[in-house]
Each structure stands twice: as structure tokens, then as C-alpha cells.
Amino acid sequence: MTQGIEEIIKGILADPKLTYPQRLTALAGAAENTPDPVPLSREAQWFADRDIVFDMGEGNAPYRPRYVLPDYDKFMRQGSRFLMLDPPGDIWDAVSNLLILYRHVPSVIAGPVYIGHIDRLLDPFVKDEEEARHAIRIFLTHVDRTISDSFCHADIGPYDTKAGRIILELSAQMQRPVPNMSLIYNEHTTDEFACKAIETGLVTAKPSFVNDAMYTADWGREYAIVSCYNALPIGGGGLTLGRLNMKKLGDVAESREHFLDHLLPAAVAAQCEQMDKRDTYILEQGRFLENTFLCSEGLIHRDKFVGMFGMVGLAECVNTVLKLEKPEERYGHGREAQEFALLILDRMHEQIKAYKPKYGRFEMHGQVGIATDTGVTPNTRIPVGEEPPLHDQLLFTALTQKHFAAGIGELFPFEETAKKNPMAVLDIIKGAFGEGMRYFSFYSSSSDVVRVTGYLVKRSDIERFDAGEACLGNSTVLGSGASRGLHIFERSVRQVPQEKD
């Protein structure tokens, strides 16, 4: 029996693990889900009823975009009339202005999923390095303690800057999961700066590396990596994120032909319909843009928002539809499985690009999974426990990431000794990017901060939460579930060559 709103509210109020801000967010979500869902056609509803098509819990009455990416560079140049802020004059002004603005940036996490290209924003104000280090430490601490959700994301790079080095040093020292972080990597990134980023990443699971050449080809220069590893245009963002569960779609397939010719196109059409109607609701019924100073001050623009067509479970789908049981034939290993997977992705991409939504456009996104997933591998990844040798995994993964302009990523735990040879890790990343991989995440197998699927948690926080304690980070709740359903602590740990004396 479905719970009534009163029972849901009482359950939230009685939950001893929820902090006061977490209760507020949960109560707001309950209110957002009180109206009936945005109606779908009978054909689309069939897929929604079976959780093949899923709205990612964004609410029955979505009133704000899932991801909002203000133009922070413009904000720093002009200040804000609404917030009564002048452009910053020193490092303290810069940090203060940004922290004030973050309080007013909406998203699905009730706070910003993108806090800017922070080394670029802060570096012009780094005059005295010790003073800047003090200010940036306060900045990072404030973000961690007040946003408290590792879907909050910062970008740095590609250039080696004083602010960038300070951010990396402090991230390694503080070992906190918030903010999540990416390094925009291209030909301007020096090996020295990249290795410093790798040294930090092997301690605290961030930053991940971004194949800038691929994303620039998709979006131009004005894009950012936000939330887990989502790529979106600066000055806009992602209106909604729909999710197509390929595993569940494969489970109802009667044959290869039935899947390709009937189920797949019908499911893609259903998800496009759902996203289109929800995007329209946000902009027309929710009137989001008319009710935010972010728009009136030119920090966001309607034509820079897109819809994100997410998917999970490709591995299980391929193995099920083709009835692959032998290890050497399964997804990530066999030639037939590879060809079928790439055919599916090509057909999906062609149909999605041909769809014309009322607002913006749709781009494919490799979704990371949710805490309740069991036996569903995120995006196009190879299932945990079935990973081939690292070289083969990199080549296969790169092939599957071509169409995912709205972001996709893979992650690799490295054995502790990798800390002694960061250049070897950088060589792996360079090779992967050369083959077409979009995003490379890594961490040390001994780190307390680990990457779940795209977001970060601390192992020690999960242990406390599982023991019944409330935790500051919202992501800890998700990580607790994912540690079981997605087997995040069971991934193959990779070794790198040791540096010669």
C-alpha cells in the first residue's frame, strides 16, 4: 500500500539519522510529490510503471532545473544588484561573494551542484600565498560543512596556477568528500601539475581527469563538469535527467530482434516524452526563469539548458538479450557482445538526436546508478568482478563513451604503491584519452575518501551511519546503500609500474 502524505511526513520527523537540514530537504521533497505526476501517454506509462523509464525522483511537480550552472566568471566581473554585492577587490571579497551566491543557486540537492572553475575564479586575487591559503581553506571548509553533498562539484585546470596548487594541497590535507572536483585536462596541462593532481587524487579521490578535447568538440569552451561527472553548458544546465534502465528493458525482450526493432525505440520514445513534458512543466508551470535573479542578471539563459537522457545497465542488457553465460563471451569480453552494445548505443543516439523537444535539446548521459540498484551496472561500465585486464578495459570503455556529450565516467582503484609513481598513472590517463575515453576517475585502495559511482564518500562516515549515527553529508546515505547494491568496495584494484631509482 502506498504511504499517505501524513505517514511520510511523520516518518521524516521521526527519523533519528536525519539532521535538521536533511529533514527540511526531505519535507520539501514530500510536498513536491503531493500533486499527481506529469501525465504521460499510455505507451510511455507502460515503461514508467515498470521502472524502465524513471524520472530520478525529481518530484511530481518539478519547479526548478535539476542542475543549474551560473556564469560565475560573469558574476565576479559584475557583482550582483539583487545580492547587493560589488565585484570583489581581494581574496576575502572573492570568497565571501561566492559563498553568498551559492546560497541562492537551486538544484535537485537544494544547493549548487556546480560552484565554478574555482582556481580560475580565485587566482587573480592570490597576492600573498599564505593569506590566500587561509582564505581558500575557509572557503573549502564552508562548502563542505554547509552544502554537505558531494554532488556539489568544482573544476580546476587546465593551467597550472597558484590557486590551483593551493586547492590541491588543501584537498589532500583536509580529505573531505565535498566538493567533488575535476581537472580539465588538455595540451596546456603540464605533466608537473597533472602529477600533483594525481598525488592528491590518490589520497582523497579527487580530482578526476576530463578529456577536454572531446567535451569542447561537443559544447565549445563554455562547458563545465558538475555533480558526478555531468558535462553541461555554463550559463544554463540540465533541466531534467531521465533514466532508461537497460537491464529491465532487456529482461522483457523476447529476442534480439524484438529488442532492437520494438522495445528499444519504444522505450527511447517514452523517455523523450517524459523528459519533454517535465522540462515544459519547469519552464511554463514552474516559471523558473521568471522567478530568479540569476536570469535577470544574465548568469543563466534559457537557450543554454538541455535535457539529459540517462541510461544504466547496458552490460546486463547485452548479456540477457544475447543469453551470454560463458565469461569469455560476456559484456566487456566477447566480440559479439561488443558489437551489439555499440549497435544499441548508435541507435539510441540517432533517435535521441532526431527528437525535437519543445525546449532545448537532449544529450546522452551515462547515469551512475542509485542507492537502491541491485545487479544494475552504472552506464556502460563492465560489472564489478568481471573486469578484464586494465588495458582491455580501457579500450572497451573508450569505445562505449563516444555519444555521451552530457557526461559519462569510469573509475579505477589503484594499489597503494601507485603513490610512488604518479607519472605512470598519468601515462594510463593519456593513453585512455587518446583512445576516446571521456572521463577518468581514480583513488587509492587504502583511501578513506572513495568514489562511489560518481560522487564521493568517506568509508568512516558510512561505518558511522550504518551503526546508527547521523552524518553531515547527504551522500553518505546514498553511499551506504550503494556499498551493498553496487559492490563499490569490491572493484578490481590495479597496479602500476614502480618508479626506478
Give 409-445 pLDDT, tens digit per residue.
999 999 999 999 999 999 999 999 999 999 999 999 7
Give the pLDDT confidence of 190-222 residue by residue, as tens digits.
999 999 999 999 999 999 999 999 999 999 999
Give the pLDDT confidence of 461-489 residue by residue, as tens digits.
777 776 677 666 665 555 555 555 556 66
Cβ atoms of 110 and 31 within 8 Å: the answer is: no
Which residue type, as a one-letter code, is found at position 254? E
Whether the pLDDT of residue 262 is over 90: the answer is yes
Cell numbers standing for residue 358:
519543445
C-alpha angle with apex 183: 177 to 187, nearest 5 degrees? Answer: 170
pLDDT, position 489: 65
Higher pLDDT, 267 or 454: 267
pLDDT, position 448: 77
Give the residue from 258, 261, 373, 251 showing the smallest Cα distance to 310.
Answer: 373
Give percent of the chain above pLDDT 70. Answer: 93
pLDDT, position 369: 86
Residue with cell string 565469461: 327
Give the pLDDT confidence of 148-165 residue by residue, as tens digits.
788 999 999 999 999 999
pLDDT, position 479: 55
In 3-state terms, what secondary structure has residue 388? coil
Average pLDDT of the chain to the nearest whole number:
92
Question: How far, rounded to the nearest angstrom, does the alpha carbon of residue 87 sit from its chain's CA centroid?
Answer: 30
Confidence of residue 501 (pLDDT cuts 50, 70, 90): very low
Domain boundaries, the chain: 38-63+234-359, 68-228+408-500
pTM: 0.92
pLDDT, position 453: 67
- What's the rounded Cα separation, in Å, for the pair 434 and 431? 5
Confidence of residue 1 (pLDDT cuts 50, 70, 90): very low
**Average pLDDT estimate for 116-136:** 98
